[in-house]
Amino acid sequence: MATDSWAQAVDEQEAAAESISNLQIKEKPEENGTAAYATDPSSSAAKPESKGEKSTDDDDKEDKAAQSLLNKLIRNNLVNTTNQVEVLQKDPNSPLYSVKSFEELRLKPQLLQGVYAMGFNRPSKIQETALPMMLAEPPQNLIAQSQSGTGKTAAFVLAMLSHVDPNNKYPQCLCVSPTYELALQTGKVIEQMGKYYPEVKLVYAIRGNKLQRGMKLQEQIVIGTPGTMLDWCSKFKFIDPKKIRVFVLDEADVMIATQGHQDQSIRIQRMLPKSCQMLLFSATFEESVWNFAQRIVPDPNIIKLKREEETLDTIKQYYVLCNCKEEKFQALCNIYGAITIAQAMIFCHTRKTAGWLAGELSREGHQVALLSGEMQVEQRAAVIERFRDGKEKVLVTTNVCARGIDVEQVSVVINFDLPVDKDGNPDNETYLHRIGRTGRFGKRGLAINMVDSKMSMNILNRIQEHFSKRIEKLDTDDLDEIEKIAS
Ligand SMILES: Nc1ncnc2c1ncn2[C@@H]1O[C@H](COP(=O)(O)OP(=O)(O)OP(=O)(O)O)[C@@H](O)[C@H]1O
């Protein structure tokens, strides 16, 4: 297996200006971290909640919610999943379907124990299909697409853990994630899954993790973001790239389509041995990115979804008609008034709107967290951690959090603004990643889109057409209707 063709393909690509322009960064207004919007540290979003100190207001709200049997039923319906997962894992049309057991995948006993300790009973379709390819000898390259929340991370983590030789005290697997938060999250999965395999060690190549110059890493797995990973391989030489056996690109499409990430990933890849296994995973791949991925990965196995399979049936999608942001906010309040929402993620187009909305929701008594691109990465990771722990119930964010973040209790995703690219066209990939923050692994989820102009209706229509999936209209003045969609 040769990894050279990545570099070759890049050279060709560099020569072909046209194809480069296909892969230019989509400048999403929230991700460049340059606008001067500051989080208000006095807002409830930034304020750490002191345990046991709840306002009377909060208590009243909780009492009301607890008294409402209807609300409880709705909540259970959106949150309770164990049975549903079982059913979906027996349904051949579900991405969670599997005829195999983890035993049949011939995992190491320590890993099998880790998998079961995480509560996984059976592999999902992507795990069942991808694992035999990834574990085969000689190792095979793979480009794999599977819907959000269907267990891709678990699949490549198992592959990495299966390939390392714990007797060798040097890095053997590199996993590159597009963001600090995702690297931390994937690292946690490695730690959990490798719980009974303590000889295998992990280190994070992320900003802030400073190592002494001249040291050589002893950990077998390195997970990190592309810039720091590249520095560790080339500038500081903490890692000997020639000894790497597995190279994983998570959220591979964004790693390829974002110029900076692409350059850094390619420079890392150029240092790896020809025999190194390359694994690329994502829930979405634009056509141009597919083509590029197939040119850079030698002899890849390919798992590709049909367009109509990309959206999950477990996520019900709606739209609400409004005239302005105040009306959108009112619609949101009506939704909150009608159903109990375990946790929600709300996506806005700009930091300004996100900040405004977080403030309005806080004033309404919601426990709100605000996350946007200008925050320090450590701050962002802390906000996500608090949200994951349920300390805040609503996360208002921009595209910075659209991908990969796995918070089980998110039962509703709201697109306060629809995702568009820099030319104002629908950003279908981001749409899919955003709504995929709910409906994780068989859970049911609601995705509600706020439409406030002819232009945004047009965008919504184009998103519907793209995925061949109907997005139903929802009247948020009709409480019965809202209750119905959640039941
Ligand atoms: N076989 C399994 N059985 C039960 N739960 C699983 C299984 N595999 C993964 N999960 C759980 O499902 C959730 C989603 O998995 P994961 O994060 O791996 O999905 P993903 O496909 O990587 O999602 P995304 O596209 O958003 O990155 C996680 O909470 C994970 O613990």
- Kindly report, residue by residue over 146-205, the tens digit of the pLDDT: 988 899 999 999 999 999 999 999 999 999 999 999 999 999 999 999 999 999 999 999
pLDDT-derived band at 85 (thresholds 50, 70, 90) equals low
Pocket test for ligand 1, best of 116, 153, 343 (most atoms within 8 A of CB): 153
Pocket test for ligand 1, best of 84, 97, 128, 150 (most atoms within 8 A of CB): 150
**Whole-number average pLDDT of the chain:** 81
Which one is predicted more confidently, 190 or 24?
190
Give me the pLDDT at residue 161, please.
97
Question: Atom of ligand 1 at shortest distance to CA of 146?
Answer: 21
User: How do residues 108-152 score in pLDDT, each as one tens digit?
Assistant: 999 999 999 999 988 998 999 999 989 988 889 999 999 888 999
Residue 59, SS3? helix
Ligand 1, atom 9, lies closest to the CA of 151
CA atoms of 208 and 97, how far apart (whole Å): 41
What is the distance in A from the centroid of ligand 1 to the CA of 151? Answer: 3
Strand order in the sheet with 246-249: 202-205, 221-224, 173-176, 246-249, 277-282, 142-145, 301-303
Query: Out of 11-25, 105-119, 277-291, 369-383, which region has the weakest mean confidence (pLDDT)?
Result: 11-25
Give me the pLDDT at residue 35, please.
24
> Which residues fall within 8 angstroms of residue 369, CB to CB, at 6 or more apart?
45, 358, 383, 386, 387, 391, 392, 394, 395, 396
CB 298 within 8 Å of CB 1: yes
Q: Which residues line ligand 1 (CB under 6 A)?
A: 120, 122-124, 127, 146, 148-154, 283, 404, 406, 408, 436, 440-441
> Which residues fall within 8 angstroms of residue 295, CB to CB, at 6 or more apart?
5, 9, 12, 13
Here the ipTM equals: 0.98
- Residue that has been written with the tokens 């906010």 in this structure: 329
User: How do residues 429-476 score in pLDDT, each as one tens digit?
Assistant: 999 999 999 988 878 899 999 999 999 999 999 999 999 889 999 998
Give me the pLDDT at residue 294, please.
82
Give me the pLDDT at residue 86, please.
64
Structure tokens at 94: 């579900």
Give me the pLDDT at residue 89, please.
63
- Residue that has been written with the tokens 């409830």 in this structure: 44
For the entire predicted model, the pTM comes to 0.75
Bridge partners (DSSP) of residue 317 are 447
- Measured from the Cβ of residue 39, the count of other Cβ atoms closer than 10 Å reads 20
Q: Which of 254, 259, 229, 258 is nearest to 244 (CA)?
A: 229
Give me the pLDDT at residue 170, please.
98
Decide if pLDDT at 70 tops 80.
no
What is the distance in A from the centroid of ligand 1 to the CA of 127? Answer: 10
What is the distance in A from the centroid of ligand 1 to the CA of 433? Answer: 14
CB 341 within 8 Å of CB 334: no
Give me the pLDDT at residue 148, please.
86
**Cβ density class 425-443: b for 16+ within 10 Å, e for less:** ebbbbbbbbbbbbbbbbbb
Give me the pLDDT at residue 287, please.
82
